[in-house]
Structure 1
Amino acid sequence: MDTDWHAWHGDYDQPDSALARRLAVIRERIGEALDAAPPGPIRVISVCAGQGRDLLGALPGHPRRADVTARLVELDPRNAAAARRTARETGLDQVEVRLGDAALTWYYAGIAPAHLVLMCGIFGNLSHADLQRTIATCSQLCATGGTLIWTRHRRAPDMFPRVCQWLEDRGFERQWLSEPGAGFGVGTHRFTGTPEPLDPDRRMFTFH
Protein backbone atom coordinates (compact mmCIF):
# COMPACT_ATOMS: atom_id res chain seq x y z
CA MET A 1 0.00 0.00 0.00
CA ASP A 2 1.38 3.41 -0.97
CA THR A 3 2.20 5.81 1.84
CA ASP A 4 -0.21 8.68 2.36
CA TRP A 5 2.38 11.44 2.66
CA HIS A 6 -0.18 13.97 3.83
CA ALA A 7 -1.33 11.81 6.75
CA TRP A 8 2.32 10.95 7.47
CA HIS A 9 2.87 14.54 8.59
CA GLY A 10 0.55 13.98 11.55
CA ASP A 11 3.41 12.62 13.65
CA TYR A 12 4.99 16.06 13.59
CA ASP A 13 2.16 17.21 15.82
CA GLN A 14 3.04 14.64 18.50
CA PRO A 15 5.70 16.38 20.65
CA ASP A 16 7.41 13.17 21.76
CA SER A 17 7.49 11.52 18.32
CA ALA A 18 10.77 10.84 16.55
CA LEU A 19 9.62 13.04 13.67
CA ALA A 20 8.93 15.99 15.97
CA ARG A 21 12.33 15.62 17.61
CA ARG A 22 14.00 15.28 14.24
CA LEU A 23 12.22 18.40 13.00
CA ALA A 24 13.53 20.45 15.92
CA VAL A 25 17.07 19.33 15.11
CA ILE A 26 16.71 20.13 11.40
CA ARG A 27 15.38 23.60 12.15
CA GLU A 28 18.37 24.24 14.38
CA ARG A 29 20.75 23.10 11.65
CA ILE A 30 18.95 25.35 9.12
CA GLY A 31 19.46 28.32 11.42
CA GLU A 32 23.16 27.54 11.68
CA ALA A 33 23.46 27.21 7.90
CA LEU A 34 21.80 30.60 7.39
CA ASP A 35 24.09 32.13 10.00
CA ALA A 36 27.12 30.77 8.12
CA ALA A 37 25.98 31.85 4.65
CA PRO A 38 27.97 34.66 3.01
CA PRO A 39 26.55 38.20 2.94
CA GLY A 40 23.96 38.82 0.27
CA PRO A 41 21.22 36.67 -1.25
CA ILE A 42 20.81 33.09 0.01
CA ARG A 43 19.34 30.49 -2.35
CA VAL A 44 17.59 27.49 -0.76
CA ILE A 45 16.34 24.27 -2.34
CA SER A 46 14.07 21.77 -0.57
CA VAL A 47 13.68 18.43 -2.34
CA CYS A 48 10.49 16.48 -1.51
CA ALA A 49 9.59 19.39 0.73
CA GLY A 50 6.34 17.98 2.11
CA GLN A 51 4.57 20.76 3.99
CA GLY A 52 7.83 22.67 4.36
CA ARG A 53 7.73 22.48 8.13
CA ASP A 54 11.51 22.49 8.42
CA LEU A 55 12.39 25.63 6.44
CA LEU A 56 9.08 27.42 7.03
CA GLY A 57 9.47 26.81 10.75
CA ALA A 58 13.07 28.03 10.91
CA LEU A 59 12.88 31.04 8.61
CA PRO A 60 10.27 33.45 10.07
CA GLY A 61 12.28 34.39 13.17
CA HIS A 62 15.72 34.28 11.58
CA PRO A 63 17.55 37.61 11.11
CA ARG A 64 18.46 36.72 7.52
CA ARG A 65 14.98 35.75 6.39
CA ALA A 66 14.86 38.66 3.94
CA ASP A 67 18.02 37.39 2.21
CA VAL A 68 16.47 34.02 1.40
CA THR A 69 14.94 32.96 -1.90
CA ALA A 70 13.68 29.38 -1.66
CA ARG A 71 12.16 26.79 -3.95
CA LEU A 72 10.27 23.89 -2.42
CA VAL A 73 9.30 21.00 -4.69
CA GLU A 74 6.59 18.56 -3.57
CA LEU A 75 4.50 15.96 -5.40
CA ASP A 76 1.49 15.71 -3.05
CA PRO A 77 -0.92 18.59 -3.83
CA ARG A 78 -2.25 18.65 -0.26
CA ASN A 79 1.22 19.06 1.18
CA ALA A 80 2.14 21.68 -1.41
CA ALA A 81 -1.02 23.62 -0.57
CA ALA A 82 -0.18 23.48 3.14
CA ALA A 83 3.33 24.78 2.44
CA ARG A 84 1.99 27.65 0.33
CA ARG A 85 -0.49 28.54 3.05
CA THR A 86 2.21 28.61 5.73
CA ALA A 87 4.51 30.73 3.54
CA ARG A 88 1.68 33.18 2.91
CA GLU A 89 0.63 33.37 6.57
CA THR A 90 4.22 34.02 7.70
CA GLY A 91 4.90 36.66 5.05
CA LEU A 92 7.50 34.59 3.21
CA ASP A 93 6.66 35.80 -0.27
CA GLN A 94 10.11 34.80 -1.51
CA VAL A 95 9.38 31.11 -0.88
CA GLU A 96 8.14 29.39 -4.03
CA VAL A 97 6.35 26.03 -3.78
CA ARG A 98 6.28 24.00 -6.97
CA LEU A 99 3.97 21.02 -7.39
CA GLY A 100 5.78 18.20 -9.15
CA ASP A 101 8.16 15.27 -8.98
CA ALA A 102 11.12 16.53 -6.95
CA ALA A 103 13.34 13.78 -8.40
CA LEU A 104 13.46 15.63 -11.73
CA THR A 105 16.36 18.05 -11.82
CA TRP A 106 14.76 20.56 -14.18
CA TYR A 107 12.73 21.85 -11.22
CA TYR A 108 15.95 23.35 -9.82
CA ALA A 109 16.99 25.27 -12.92
CA GLY A 110 17.48 28.92 -12.10
CA ILE A 111 18.09 28.42 -8.38
CA ALA A 112 20.87 25.81 -8.36
CA PRO A 113 23.56 25.88 -7.18
CA ALA A 114 22.08 26.85 -3.81
CA HIS A 115 23.61 27.88 -0.50
CA LEU A 116 21.35 25.46 1.39
CA VAL A 117 19.92 22.18 0.10
CA LEU A 118 17.45 20.16 2.16
CA MET A 119 17.06 16.45 1.44
CA CYS A 120 14.99 15.35 4.40
CA GLY A 121 12.86 12.22 4.38
CA ILE A 122 14.39 10.99 1.10
CA PHE A 123 17.46 8.81 1.60
CA GLY A 124 15.63 6.18 3.63
CA ASN A 125 13.21 5.50 0.77
CA LEU A 126 15.70 4.85 -2.03
CA SER A 127 17.48 1.87 -3.54
CA HIS A 128 21.27 1.89 -3.17
CA ALA A 129 21.65 2.84 -6.84
CA ASP A 130 19.21 5.75 -6.56
CA LEU A 131 20.84 6.88 -3.32
CA GLN A 132 24.24 7.05 -4.99
CA ARG A 133 22.78 8.83 -8.02
CA THR A 134 21.09 11.39 -5.78
CA ILE A 135 24.26 12.01 -3.81
CA ALA A 136 26.16 12.48 -7.08
CA THR A 137 23.56 15.06 -8.16
CA CYS A 138 24.05 17.04 -4.95
CA SER A 139 27.22 18.47 -6.47
CA GLN A 140 24.97 20.09 -9.11
CA LEU A 141 22.53 21.45 -6.54
CA CYS A 142 24.99 22.84 -3.94
CA ALA A 143 27.11 25.95 -4.31
CA THR A 144 30.71 25.93 -3.13
CA GLY A 145 30.55 26.38 0.62
CA GLY A 146 26.86 25.49 0.61
CA THR A 147 25.24 23.30 3.24
CA LEU A 148 23.45 20.02 2.61
CA ILE A 149 21.10 18.86 5.37
CA TRP A 150 19.91 15.28 4.96
CA THR A 151 18.19 12.54 6.92
CA ARG A 152 18.33 8.76 7.00
CA HIS A 153 16.99 6.31 9.58
CA ARG A 154 19.45 4.26 11.63
CA ARG A 155 17.60 0.93 11.42
CA ALA A 156 19.53 -2.15 10.36
CA PRO A 157 21.22 -2.36 8.00
CA ASP A 158 22.47 1.08 9.08
CA MET A 159 23.48 2.91 5.89
CA PHE A 160 24.22 6.17 7.70
CA PRO A 161 28.03 5.73 7.78
CA ARG A 162 28.06 4.70 4.13
CA VAL A 163 26.01 7.75 3.12
CA CYS A 164 28.55 9.92 4.94
CA GLN A 165 31.38 8.24 3.04
CA TRP A 166 29.67 8.63 -0.33
CA LEU A 167 29.10 12.32 0.36
CA GLU A 168 32.65 12.87 1.51
CA ASP A 169 33.97 11.10 -1.60
CA ARG A 170 32.03 13.74 -3.60
CA GLY A 171 33.59 16.75 -1.88
CA PHE A 172 31.18 17.19 1.01
CA GLU A 173 32.84 17.89 4.35
CA ARG A 174 31.19 16.51 7.47
CA GLN A 175 29.89 19.26 9.77
CA TRP A 176 27.50 17.59 12.20
CA LEU A 177 25.78 14.22 12.75
CA SER A 178 23.04 13.27 15.18
CA GLU A 179 23.90 10.68 17.81
CA PRO A 180 23.35 7.05 16.74
CA GLY A 181 20.85 6.47 19.54
CA ALA A 182 18.73 9.55 18.84
CA GLY A 183 15.96 7.55 17.19
CA PHE A 184 16.51 9.31 13.86
CA GLY A 185 19.43 10.34 11.69
CA VAL A 186 20.31 13.88 10.60
CA GLY A 187 23.51 14.91 8.85
CA THR A 188 24.97 18.26 7.82
CA HIS A 189 27.69 18.43 5.19
CA ARG A 190 29.40 21.43 3.59
CA PHE A 191 30.24 21.28 -0.12
CA THR A 192 33.90 22.14 -0.67
CA GLY A 193 34.05 21.34 -4.38
CA THR A 194 33.05 23.22 -7.51
CA PRO A 195 29.43 22.72 -8.54
CA GLU A 196 28.85 20.83 -11.76
CA PRO A 197 26.49 22.33 -14.35
CA LEU A 198 22.91 21.25 -13.71
CA ASP A 199 21.75 18.45 -15.99
CA PRO A 200 18.07 19.35 -16.41
CA ASP A 201 17.16 15.94 -17.84
CA ARG A 202 18.17 13.76 -14.89
CA ARG A 203 15.92 11.70 -12.63
CA MET A 204 17.62 11.35 -9.28
CA PHE A 205 15.44 8.69 -7.69
CA THR A 206 12.18 6.76 -7.46
CA PHE A 207 10.65 6.18 -4.02
CA HIS A 208 10.32 2.57 -2.83
Structure 2
Amino acid sequence: MAVEGTNERDWHRWHDDYTDPTSPLSRRLATVQARIREFLDAAAPGPVRVVSVCAGQGRDLLDVLAAHPRRADVTARLVELDPRNARAAADAARAAGLDGVEVVVGDAAVVDRYAGLVPADLVLVCGVFGNVTDEDVRRTVGYCAQLCATGGTVVWTRHRREPDLVPRVCEWFAAEGFEPGWLSPPEAGFGVGTHRFTGTPRPLDRGGRMFTFVDR
Protein backbone atom coordinates (compact mmCIF):
# COMPACT_ATOMS: atom_id res chain seq x y z
CA MET A 1 0.00 0.00 0.00
CA ALA A 2 1.38 3.35 -0.97
CA VAL A 3 0.22 6.82 -1.87
CA GLU A 4 1.73 9.54 -3.99
CA GLY A 5 3.76 12.07 -2.10
CA THR A 6 5.43 9.67 0.31
CA ASN A 7 8.42 7.50 -0.51
CA GLU A 8 10.29 7.17 2.76
CA ARG A 9 8.95 3.73 3.65
CA ASP A 10 9.50 0.71 1.41
CA TRP A 11 5.92 -0.57 1.15
CA HIS A 12 7.02 -3.73 -0.59
CA ARG A 13 9.33 -4.82 2.25
CA TRP A 14 6.65 -3.72 4.73
CA HIS A 15 4.75 -6.85 3.74
CA ASP A 16 7.59 -9.10 4.98
CA ASP A 17 6.09 -9.18 8.48
CA TYR A 18 3.21 -11.22 7.09
CA THR A 19 5.57 -14.22 6.98
CA ASP A 20 5.81 -14.17 10.79
CA PRO A 21 2.53 -15.58 12.16
CA THR A 22 3.23 -14.03 15.56
CA SER A 23 3.72 -10.47 14.29
CA PRO A 24 1.01 -7.88 15.00
CA LEU A 25 0.66 -7.29 11.26
CA SER A 26 0.06 -10.97 10.60
CA ARG A 27 -2.49 -11.21 13.41
CA ARG A 28 -4.26 -8.10 12.13
CA LEU A 29 -4.39 -9.60 8.63
CA ALA A 30 -6.03 -12.75 9.99
CA THR A 31 -8.61 -10.60 11.77
CA VAL A 32 -9.40 -8.60 8.63
CA GLN A 33 -9.68 -11.81 6.61
CA ALA A 34 -12.15 -13.20 9.15
CA ARG A 35 -14.32 -10.10 8.76
CA ILE A 36 -14.22 -10.39 4.94
CA ARG A 37 -15.13 -14.08 5.16
CA GLU A 38 -18.08 -13.26 7.43
CA PHE A 39 -19.27 -10.63 4.99
CA LEU A 40 -19.15 -13.01 2.04
CA ASP A 41 -20.84 -15.78 4.02
CA ALA A 42 -23.77 -13.45 4.76
CA ALA A 43 -23.95 -11.63 1.42
CA ALA A 44 -27.23 -11.85 -0.48
CA PRO A 45 -27.28 -13.99 -3.63
CA GLY A 46 -26.08 -12.24 -6.77
CA PRO A 47 -23.17 -10.03 -7.78
CA VAL A 48 -20.91 -8.60 -5.08
CA ARG A 49 -18.82 -5.49 -5.74
CA VAL A 50 -15.65 -4.82 -3.74
CA VAL A 51 -13.12 -1.99 -3.74
CA SER A 52 -9.86 -1.98 -1.79
CA VAL A 53 -8.14 1.32 -0.97
CA CYS A 54 -4.33 1.05 -0.73
CA ALA A 55 -4.65 -2.66 -1.43
CA GLY A 56 -0.98 -3.55 -1.07
CA GLN A 57 -0.50 -7.12 -2.25
CA GLY A 58 -4.19 -7.84 -1.75
CA ARG A 59 -3.67 -10.61 0.76
CA ASP A 60 -6.66 -9.64 2.89
CA LEU A 61 -9.18 -10.13 0.07
CA LEU A 62 -7.45 -12.50 -2.33
CA ASP A 63 -6.56 -15.16 0.23
CA VAL A 64 -10.22 -15.31 1.28
CA LEU A 65 -11.69 -15.23 -2.23
CA ALA A 66 -9.42 -18.01 -3.48
CA ALA A 67 -11.21 -20.58 -1.33
CA HIS A 68 -14.66 -19.01 -0.92
CA PRO A 69 -17.78 -20.44 -2.62
CA ARG A 70 -18.91 -16.90 -3.60
CA ARG A 71 -15.70 -16.17 -5.50
CA ALA A 72 -17.38 -16.17 -8.91
CA ASP A 73 -19.91 -13.57 -7.75
CA VAL A 74 -17.25 -11.02 -6.82
CA THR A 75 -16.09 -8.16 -9.00
CA ALA A 76 -13.28 -6.31 -7.25
CA ARG A 77 -10.95 -3.41 -7.90
CA LEU A 78 -7.72 -3.20 -5.90
CA VAL A 79 -5.94 0.16 -6.13
CA GLU A 80 -2.26 0.32 -5.19
CA LEU A 81 0.48 2.79 -6.06
CA ASP A 82 3.56 0.60 -5.53
CA PRO A 83 3.97 -1.35 -8.79
CA ARG A 84 5.75 -4.23 -7.04
CA ASN A 85 2.85 -4.75 -4.65
CA ALA A 86 0.33 -4.34 -7.45
CA ARG A 87 2.18 -6.94 -9.53
CA ALA A 88 2.15 -9.37 -6.58
CA ALA A 89 -1.60 -8.84 -6.19
CA ALA A 90 -2.26 -9.32 -9.90
CA ASP A 91 -0.15 -12.48 -9.96
CA ALA A 92 -2.00 -13.88 -6.93
CA ALA A 93 -5.39 -13.15 -8.48
CA ARG A 94 -4.36 -14.77 -11.75
CA ALA A 95 -2.91 -17.83 -10.01
CA ALA A 96 -6.17 -18.29 -8.09
CA GLY A 97 -8.27 -17.88 -11.23
CA LEU A 98 -10.04 -14.82 -9.86
CA ASP A 99 -11.10 -13.35 -13.19
CA GLY A 100 -13.32 -10.75 -11.55
CA VAL A 101 -10.43 -9.05 -9.77
CA GLU A 102 -8.85 -5.95 -11.33
CA VAL A 103 -5.63 -4.48 -9.94
CA VAL A 104 -5.07 -0.80 -10.71
CA VAL A 105 -1.67 0.84 -10.29
CA GLY A 106 -2.36 4.37 -9.11
CA ASP A 107 -2.87 6.73 -6.20
CA ALA A 108 -5.60 5.15 -4.10
CA ALA A 109 -6.50 8.48 -2.50
CA VAL A 110 -7.94 9.77 -5.78
CA VAL A 111 -11.68 9.14 -5.79
CA ASP A 112 -11.86 8.78 -9.57
CA ARG A 113 -9.99 5.46 -9.31
CA TYR A 114 -13.21 3.84 -8.07
CA ALA A 115 -15.61 5.21 -10.68
CA GLY A 116 -17.66 2.51 -12.35
CA LEU A 117 -17.50 0.10 -9.42
CA VAL A 118 -19.01 2.19 -6.64
CA PRO A 119 -21.14 2.26 -4.65
CA ALA A 120 -19.70 -1.11 -3.64
CA ASP A 121 -20.99 -3.81 -1.31
CA LEU A 122 -17.65 -4.12 0.49
CA VAL A 123 -15.11 -1.31 0.94
CA LEU A 124 -11.69 -2.15 2.40
CA VAL A 125 -9.75 0.72 3.99
CA CYS A 126 -6.96 -1.23 5.66
CA GLY A 127 -3.53 0.19 6.44
CA VAL A 128 -4.67 3.75 5.73
CA PHE A 129 -5.87 5.40 8.94
CA GLY A 130 -2.57 4.83 10.75
CA ASN A 131 -0.60 6.69 8.09
CA VAL A 132 -2.59 9.91 7.64
CA THR A 133 -3.57 12.88 9.79
CA ASP A 134 -6.66 12.76 11.99
CA GLU A 135 -8.29 15.28 9.65
CA ASP A 136 -7.71 12.97 6.70
CA VAL A 137 -9.11 10.01 8.62
CA ARG A 138 -12.28 12.04 9.16
CA ARG A 139 -12.31 13.07 5.50
CA THR A 140 -11.90 9.48 4.31
CA VAL A 141 -14.75 8.28 6.53
CA GLY A 142 -16.92 10.88 4.81
CA TYR A 143 -15.87 9.59 1.41
CA CYS A 144 -16.88 6.09 2.47
CA ALA A 145 -20.47 7.33 2.21
CA GLN A 146 -19.76 7.75 -1.52
CA LEU A 147 -17.92 4.47 -1.99
CA CYS A 148 -20.32 2.22 -0.05
CA ALA A 149 -23.74 1.00 -1.19
CA THR A 150 -26.74 1.08 1.12
CA GLY A 151 -26.41 -2.01 3.30
CA GLY A 152 -22.76 -2.35 2.34
CA THR A 153 -19.87 -2.85 4.74
CA VAL A 154 -16.63 -0.98 5.34
CA VAL A 155 -13.71 -2.84 6.92
CA TRP A 156 -11.03 -0.52 8.32
CA THR A 157 -7.92 -0.66 10.49
CA ARG A 158 -6.10 1.71 12.83
CA HIS A 159 -3.41 1.21 15.49
CA ARG A 160 -4.36 1.56 19.17
CA ARG A 161 -1.37 3.63 20.25
CA GLU A 162 -2.11 6.69 22.37
CA PRO A 163 -3.87 8.91 21.71
CA ASP A 164 -6.22 6.12 20.64
CA LEU A 165 -8.29 7.43 17.74
CA VAL A 166 -10.45 4.32 17.33
CA PRO A 167 -13.39 5.60 19.47
CA ARG A 168 -13.51 8.80 17.42
CA VAL A 169 -13.34 6.84 14.17
CA CYS A 170 -16.43 4.96 15.29
CA GLU A 171 -18.16 8.27 16.08
CA TRP A 172 -17.25 9.63 12.65
CA PHE A 173 -18.72 6.59 10.92
CA ALA A 174 -21.91 6.97 12.95
CA ALA A 175 -22.16 10.62 11.89
CA GLU A 176 -22.01 9.55 8.22
CA GLY A 177 -24.87 7.06 8.48
CA PHE A 178 -22.99 3.89 9.38
CA GLU A 179 -23.97 1.51 12.15
CA PRO A 180 -21.31 -0.45 14.08
CA GLY A 181 -20.73 -4.06 13.16
CA TRP A 182 -17.63 -5.46 14.82
CA LEU A 183 -14.64 -3.95 16.65
CA SER A 184 -11.51 -5.68 17.89
CA PRO A 185 -10.89 -5.35 21.65
CA PRO A 186 -8.19 -2.92 22.86
CA GLU A 187 -6.08 -5.79 24.21
CA ALA A 188 -5.64 -7.09 20.66
CA GLY A 189 -3.03 -4.39 20.16
CA PHE A 190 -4.52 -3.23 16.87
CA GLY A 191 -7.84 -1.85 15.71
CA VAL A 192 -10.01 -3.60 13.14
CA GLY A 193 -13.58 -2.42 12.69
CA THR A 194 -16.57 -2.98 10.45
CA HIS A 195 -19.43 -0.58 9.83
CA ARG A 196 -22.59 -1.06 7.79
CA PHE A 197 -23.91 1.83 5.72
CA THR A 198 -27.58 2.58 6.35
CA GLY A 199 -27.80 5.80 4.34
CA THR A 200 -28.10 6.65 0.66
CA PRO A 201 -24.79 6.79 -1.23
CA ARG A 202 -23.71 10.29 -2.11
CA PRO A 203 -22.68 11.20 -5.66
CA LEU A 204 -19.03 10.48 -6.35
CA ASP A 205 -16.91 13.60 -5.90
CA ARG A 206 -15.02 13.34 -9.17
CA GLY A 207 -11.60 14.92 -8.79
CA GLY A 208 -11.73 14.63 -5.02
CA ARG A 209 -8.87 13.39 -2.84
CA MET A 210 -9.42 11.44 0.36
CA PHE A 211 -6.04 11.62 2.09
CA THR A 212 -2.28 12.07 1.85
CA PHE A 213 0.13 9.74 3.62
CA VAL A 214 2.32 11.38 6.26
CA ASP A 215 6.06 10.82 5.86
CA ARG A 216 7.59 8.89 8.72
Separation in structure 2 between the aligned mates of residue 95 and residue 188 of structure 1, nearest angstrom = 22
TM-score, normalised by the number of residues in structure 2:
0.95
* 1:207 aligned residue (186, 210, 213): 213
Which residue pairs with 2:56 in the alignment?
50
Alignment of 1:36-185 (within 5 A): 36-185=42-191
TM-score, normalised by the number of residues in structure 1:
0.98
Which residue pairs with 2:4 in the alignment?
none
Identity %: 66
Q: Tell me how far 1:101 sits from its aligned partner.
A: 0.1
* 1:17 aligned residue (4, 19, 23): 23
Runs of 4+, deviation exceeding 4 Å: none
Separation in structure 2 between the aligned mates of residue 136 and residue 181 of structure 1, nearest angstrom = 28
Amino acid at match of 2:106: G
Separation in structure 2 between the aligned mates of residue 198 and residue 32 of structure 1, nearest angstrom = 27
Separation in structure 2 between the aligned mates of residue 114 and residue 36 of structure 1, nearest angstrom = 15
Separation in structure 2 between the aligned mates of residue 114 and residue 37 of structure 1, nearest angstrom = 12
SS in 2 for 1:19: helix
SS in 2 for 1:196: coil
Any idea what the Cα deviations from partners look like across 1:66-91, whole Å, max 9, x if unmatched?
Answer: 10000000000000000000001000
Separation in structure 2 between the aligned mates of residue 142 and residue 84 of structure 1, nearest angstrom = 24
* 1:190 aligned residue (193, 196, 202): 196
Amino acid at match of 1:57: D
